[in-house]
Amino acid sequence: MARICDLHIHSDLSDSDMPVEEIFKTAVDNKVDCISLTDHDTLDGIDSAFRCSKKYDIEFIPGIEISAQHFDSEIHILGFFIDHLNKKFLDILAEMRVLRIQRLVEMVDKLNELGVAVSKPDFLEFIKGVVPTRLHLAIYLIQRGYTRDMKETFDKYIGVNKPAYSGGFKYSVKEVIAAIRDAGGLSFIAHPHMLTDQRLVEEFIGYGLDGIEVQYRNMPQRLRTVYDKYVFEKKLLRCGGSDAHGSYKKYAAIGSVNIPYDWVQEMKERLENND
């Protein structure tokens, strides 16, 4: 029977409410054979994931999803087979965590200026212990009764170019790709169909990307065809997955979008050849 993999999953250490062990239990239930934990800008769940991998007999690939800045755009880069003990890489992530908190505090300040009376100390307590994202701010606003749902929260306040939005990540796409490579990993552009300017995909390939996330929920077939062409012509790797976020994205169950194990094997072979 063919082995299936889900290489895009988030835990409660970033912007999901699903603990690492629950991810593995769900993978077993959903008959997924190989997974990667790709939390935003953190490797905090990797040690636990390795332990769960042995316990539940599911292959685990250490991963991450890093936010990079490209002019006014926030770009997500996936990294796989990362050395999660690489000090230089961990130092970069520690800096990113501080910058993420600062960014969300700026957004809280903007909300207060707009008349949304958010308590800064209360919000900082709310995000304690996680690598905070805009999703955390959205959940906070909904739970405190400031907004009704995710759509209203992002459309009215914290979506890109909305009045309380604050952008700006320190590292460029090129720098993130290099950092992943220096930590022994492979870099992929995440959900490329979400880019407003599709010409950026080819530009980022020129920066040294190892591959493209070509398997993703609701990806238009016309764009999938373009990405497959890049993969063939430029000898790139492929990845994909559910982008599961626990109950925060109930439609994105673990394994609901998956890839064949052959793609993982191709990654391993690329790493061997790189050595």
d(CA 131, CA 65): 12
**DSSP category for residue 180:** H
Name, in order, each residue with C-beta under 8 angstroms of 8's C-beta and a sequence gap of 6 or more.
36, 38, 65, 78, 190, 213, 216, 239, 240, 241, 242, 243, 244, 257
pLDDT score recorded for residue 194: 95
Phi-psi sector, 236: left (phi>0), alpha (psi -120 to 50), beta: beta
- Walk me through the domains of the chain, giving residue ranges and CATH numbers: 4-93+168-274 (3.20.20.140)
Query: Is pTM, for the whole model, over 0.85?
Result: yes
164-187: per-residue pLDDT in tens? 998 877 899 999 999 999 999 999
Which pLDDT band holds residue 72 (cuts at 50, 70, 90)?
A: confident
In the numeric block, which tokens belong to residue 16? 């999901």
> Rounded to an integer, what distance in angstroms lies between the CA atom of residue 25 and that of residue 147?
33
Mean pLDDT along residues 25-45: 97
- Euclidean distance between CA atoms 10 and 184, whole angstroms: 21
pLDDT in tens, 240-250: 999 999 998 88
pLDDT tens, position by position, 203-248: 999 999 999 999 999 999 999 999 999 999 999 999 999 999 999 8
